[in-house]
Homo-oligomer: A and B are copies of this chain.
Amino acid sequence: MLLLVSPKDVNEAIEAIEGGADIIDVKNPVEGSLGANFPWVIKEIREVTPKNLLVSATIGDVPYKPGTAALAAMGAAISGADYIKVGLYGTKSYNQAVDLMKKVVKAVKDIDENKIVVAAGYADAYRVGAVEPLVIPKVARDSGCDVAMLDTAIKDGKTLFDHLDKETLREFVEETHRYGLKCALAGSIKKEHIPILKEIGCDIVGVRGAACTKGDRNEGRIERELVKELVELCRQ
């Protein structure tokens, strides 16, 4: 299982890299759970990250505006992101989500066929009126994405597991694999969740708080020792 870590600045990115993270994720939490960061921040983090590691960037908790989303995805790809994540926040149905993701996929793959596009849904979609998490694998499949992901929309301390139980998540992973796609799971994941995610077959786990001092995503800072522990749990 690969470990994706979300630093908030270059110093934290270096800690994540030194700790052995597989994917360095650029977010801007001020703009939402999957808030987009600025082109210059993506570039800067891409520059400090070794070539063999992937940089992921999110383009936001997007409204149902495929044109804006496609332009933003292009901006992220040009800025150096290898993974382009899209938070399916304002799309209210499978159809809208597929429509938007198809345009994002085309924008990204026109630049580089090898870039990876991630359709990210929310485990707590019902709290924000977003599309149901259990249809994300089909959305990813039908729009040509590479990865189906879940995160939590509202960061109120509730974790992925507070909204979806292990058996439901297992079904999510298996359905994604059946479609030949990879699966990423995030959402205030704690150390003790990692073995469970491995057990159900998850490909990528996303963390921030668990890699921070005191487990605090806001007040704490990412430290390489904590990242190392998580990496080991993922590798076991």
User: Are B38 and A94 in touch, CB under 8 angstroms?
Assistant: no
Q: Taking the complex as formed, is A148 at the interface, i.e. its CB lies under 8 A from any CB of chain B?
A: no
Given contacts A36-B68, A75-B72, contact A132 B132 (CB under 8 A): yes
Instruction: Convert A91-102 into 0s and 1s, putting 1 for each residue whose CB lies closer than 8 angstroms to a CB of B.
Output: 011111000000
A126 — which chain B residues lie within 8 A by C-beta?
A: 92-93, 95-96, 131
Residues on A facing B (Cβ under 8 Å) = 28, 31-32, 35-40, 59-60, 62-63, 65-76, 78-79, 92-96, 103, 106-107, 110, 125-127, 129, 131-135, 138, 163-164, 168, 171
16 residue pairs bridging A and B, Cβ less than 8 Å apart? A31-B66, A36-B65, A39-B70, A39-B107, A59-B71, A60-B65, A60-B67, A60-B71, A62-B68, A63-B63, A68-B72, A93-B132, A95-B163, A95-B164, A134-B138, A135-B135
